[in-house]
Structure 1
Amino acid sequence: MIDQVPETIQRMMDYFTAGQRECYLVGGAVRDLLMGRNPRDYDLAVSASTEDVIRLAAETGKNIAYVLPHGVVGIHDEDYNIEISPFKGTSIEEDLGLRDYTINAMAVSRTGRLIDPWGGQADLASELICALGKPEAMLLADPLRAFRAGRFAAMLGFGMEEHTAVALTSVLVRERLQGVAVERVREELEHTLVGAYAARGLQVLVDSGLLECKCSARTAGKTVTVAILPEVAHLQGVQQNPEYHQEDVLGHTLTTVDSIKPEIHLRWAALLHDVAKGTPGVREIRKGKITDYKHEVVGAEMAHRILTRLRVTSQVIDRVVWLVRQHMVLPRGLKWAYKHARDFPDRQSFNRAVSDLFELVRADREPRHLEVDQGCAEKFLSDTAGVPLYLSELAIDARAVVHRFGEGPQVGKIMHDLLNEVRSGSCPNNRDSLLKALERKAARKGRHKRGR
């Protein structure tokens, strides 16, 4: 297996072992190599102090990107993410015994010897996520490890070992989670969301009750507890109109998450697109049928609150909220384009949002075999490509208006009037036609003044 390790990493291991130190490849890279994957993240454990690790890492000729408080040294490399750390304990076996799950508690020496004291290779073969040692004690050492169980389930598609699954529901673990920063929890959630088996990882978090837990956040100089994702957990068991969905809202949501492209804003949109279904004021029974009218409007408001609470970036929040708000209607015709072009600063942003919306609608409707694909998005964008949606797409700019009418608030109004004339088809979008339109406006303005 050591032959599969990139030469850059092998040379670093050679350098450390040449100094009579032990050096091992550890953690996720070993797991991934055993699974036939090509990892980009490589962790090395070395029998040296933090100071020696920093010095030796610098001597390898690589630039040090960062040094974490617990002694982990990050190496700058264009191709791989490399971290080097001193042994936790006095031996590699002791180091491995302090890790989270058995599949992450393996090491490989420079000679290729596999060190697997906790049976990680067997759990890989059984496709099980199994806690190291006593499951609850392992989780209490770092409660965020509970969310990492969901992350690994989403990444690998593995099931949970029985005792580990029970430990995830521990009351003590829930209490300790309240001291974990919301940013760390969100990071694990987002790793789960973009996993190849995201639905499986999210189901682990729902079944264990972890989404209904709280974590900590700093607000106005104070530390407060905030909810994680109870809104999603509560979708379990919420029935829908069987004419459209056979699954409950959670089941449909998880199917949509798995169906959509693994881009974080799209996965968040898929997770939250039906989050308002079943809520008071939205859920009604009309003529004996379940309805959730306007769930997209209420859902967009809920999505904004949830993502803000979880400290998601404002750029992602804006994209997700817009997608949730619009997901019930496919873009059709110029009227839709004119209306929603106002939501974006330029054509590039508009086109990107339209493509995202078609992708969300496709994933949402896929179980019902409704024909929505990327070709639909391409056709819509092609149909609207020749029509100006923004002032910047007019054949003249504001300078022509200023030249004819002078500066002032009227400039913006006149530019928008011209844009509307072009959209309506009453004026071609070329320089001569637009200048003539300006002259007509000036003439009308002159007649209006004389009439007064």
Structure 2
Amino acid sequence: MTDADERLWRMGLEVVRKLQERGFEAYLVGGCARDRLLGRPLHDVDVATSAHPEQVAASFERVIPTGLQHGTVTVMHEGTPFEVTTYRTESGYSDARRPDSVAFVRDIREDLARRDFTINAMAAGLEGEWIDPYGGREDLSACIVRCVGDADRRFGEDALRMVRAIRFAAAFRFRLAKSVWRGIRSQAQRLRFVAMERIGAEWDKMMAGADPDRACRLLARSGLMAHLKEPLPAGLKAGMLAYRTAAEVGPKLRDIADTDARWIAWLSRCGAEPEEAVRFCRTIRLSGKREARIGQGVAFARRMAVSPGDRATFITAVLDFGKPAASDWLAAIGAGTGNGHGHAALLKCLEELPADSVRQLAVRGDELARHWDRPAGPWVAKVLRSLLEEVAFGRLPNDNAALLRAAEAFKES
């Protein structure tokens, strides 16, 4: 762990100490405890305590009431936020997401009993002691994701936990316990109650994670994607099933540095059409900017699928879909291989391209209109595109005078 991780852990223990000095129990809990044992980076540190929210608020100078209905406040300690939550039990999950009611309790073990997986149901104390009633450390050592108690019940409470189980298995390269698989198959239909934003956020984390290939294969194997609130494009669902058992094509997704380039590679390998890729991004609620980028990248990949290493096809695709889409496609097919589909030659071609858009031409549309004393119209765009192709293919220098002379040949076409 880094110095920053150690500092964050130490600051969390300072919050625990301050609560204990006021007579309350307190522990570091959840993901931070798990990641501490795994030696992984800490993203945030959460505290569970016997103190009620108003008692926590009275113990610190700056406290933000972020979730009072669930017993949670955010303590600002040396400029860093720490979520502090009162020990609680939960009951009733009518929306398959949130508890209908919570009850504050006095025992950390009762609080841990409500959590999703054993590896997330551990608590670390101020003096180095661990509260681990469900065998989380043993499951970490065995590299297994197991529910706290009955999997059917855990997934019935919050159906998103089924997707989270897959994310954890992929991120940590763990296996799913048989009971977890049985629970997923039993409760899969409850996923239709989960908002697509939550599904998309989990899937996006998987794609950005340590082993997105495994995550996507586990998702396909689980059958969960057939039970979404909004259906995936039909062609993509079929492609996911084929991807589940397909041999590796191109680099592993984890070898691609950028998350959106990973999405482009995965969607392309699933056989998604550009329109399906855009609908998929919209379905899982990616931003409009990311949707456009991924759609263009998939369109570029589809164009190149017929002649992956062909320079002429590549240059024309750059002009049609843009240089960023070309860079994404090169990342998707070239990471980890260095020469897939003539990767090095096409990368050099992209870097040396004289122009990749009409904005880079040394002549403007209004200039063409004045030159021939003609009103602007569709003909201008056609001439500029023809000039761009000549420049991009190296048949014409990007020079104003040369472009105006060459434009004569395209003026009437």
Give the length in aligned residue pairs: 385
1:341 corresponds to 2:324: no
| Alignment match, 2:352 | 383
1:195 lines up with 2:192 in the alignment: no
Tell me if 1:267 matches 2:262: yes
**Cα distance, 1:26 vs. partner?**
0.5
Question: Quick one: distance in 1 between partners of 2:46 and 2:254?
Answer: 32
- Residue identity over aligned pairs, in percent, reads 26
Question: Is the Cα contact below 8 Å between 1:405 and 1:411 reproduced in 2?
Answer: no
Aligned pairs for 1:100-249 within 5 A? 100-170=116-186, 173-215=187-229, 226-227=230-231, 234-235=238-239, 238=242
Give TM-score scaled by structure 1 length.
0.71
Q: Deviations over 1:357-393 (max 9, x none)?
A: 0122236x96xx9745864454122221xx1233332
Q: 1:35 aligns with which of 38, 41, 44?
A: 38
Q: Hey, what's the Cα distance between the residues in 2 that align with 1:372 and 1:429?
A: 29
State how 1:50-69 maps to structure 2 within 5 Å: 50-54=53-57, 56=59, 59=61, 61=62, 64=64, 66-67=66-67
Listed as ranges, the gaps of 5+ residues in structure 1 are 216-225, 239-247, 277-297, 345-349, 446-452
| CA distance in structure 2 between the aligned counterparts of 1:83 and 1:377, rounded to whole angstroms | 49
User: Is the contact made by 2:221 and 2:244 (CA closer than 8 Å) also made in structure 1?
Assistant: no
Q: CA deviation at 1:421?
A: 6.5
Q: Does 1:90 align with 2:106?
A: yes
Instruction: Provide structure 2 residue ranges, at least 5 long, that are not aligned to the other structure.
Output: 89-104
Q: Which position in structure 2 is the counterpart of 1:393?
A: 360
**Amino acid of the residue matched to residue 32 of structure 2?**
A
3-state SS, counterpart of residue 354 of structure 1: helix
Which residue matches 1:252?
247
* Structure 1 CA distance for aligned equivalents of residues 236 and 357 of structure 2: 38
Q: State the TM-score, normalizing by the size of structure 2.
A: 0.77
Aligned residue for 1:132, secondary structure, equals coil
Q: Assess, with a 3 A threshold, how the Cα gap between structure 1 residues 109 and 150 changes in structure 2: closer, same or farther.
A: same
Between stretches 12-21 and 249-258, larger displacement belongs to 249-258
Cα distance in 2, alignment partners of residues 228 and 411 from structure 1:
38
Deviations 1:59-94 (Å, cap 9, x if unpaired)?
1x58x4954753434567999774322222322111
Query: Compared with structure 1, are the counterparts of its residues 426 and 234 closer, same or farther at alpha carbon in structure 2 (3 Å cutoff)?
Result: closer
Which residue of structure 1 aligns with residue 18 of structure 2? 15
Is 1:323 matched up with 2:326?
no
Summarize deviations over 1:334-359 as a string: whole Å, max 9, x none.
66435532434xxxxx1x32221012
Q: Does 1:26 align with 2:29?
A: yes
Residues 195 and 262 in structure 1, CA contact (< 8 A), matched pair in contact too: no
Cα RMSD, aligned residues only: 4.0
Provide the secondary structure at the position in 1 that maps to 2:27: strand
Which residue among 270, 278, 303 is the counterpart of 2:277? 303
Contact 1:212 1:229 in 2 (8 A): no
Structure 1 residues 382 and 109, CA gap change in structure 2 (3 angstroms): same
CA distance in 2, matches of 1:388, 1:143: 51
1:266 CA displacement: 2.3
> Which has the higher mean CA deviation after the structures are superposed, 15-24 or 113-122?
15-24
Partner of 1:356: 328
Mapped to 1, the partners of 2:393 and 2:221 lie a distance apart of 55
1:388/1:162 CA distance change after superposition, 3 Å: closer
Q: Which moved more, 1:394-403 or 1:131-140?
A: 394-403
Deviations 1:283-335 (A, max 9, x none): xxxxxxxxxxxxxxx63333233332222222222222333333214365466
Deviation digits for residues 1-27 of structure 1 (CA, Å, limit 9, x no counterpart): 996754433333333333322221101
Change in CA separation of 1:342 and 1:272 when aligned onto 2, cut-off 3 Å: closer
Distance across 1 between alignment mates of 2:407 and 2:192: 65
**1:416-427 alignment, distance < 5 Å:** 416=384, 419=388, 422=391
Structure 2 CA distance, aligned partners of 1:119 and 1:255?
40
SS in 1 for 2:85: strand
Give, in angstroms, the shift of residue 102 of structure 1: 0.3
User: How far has the Cα of 1:53 moved from its partner?
Assistant: 3.9
SS at match of 2:45: strand
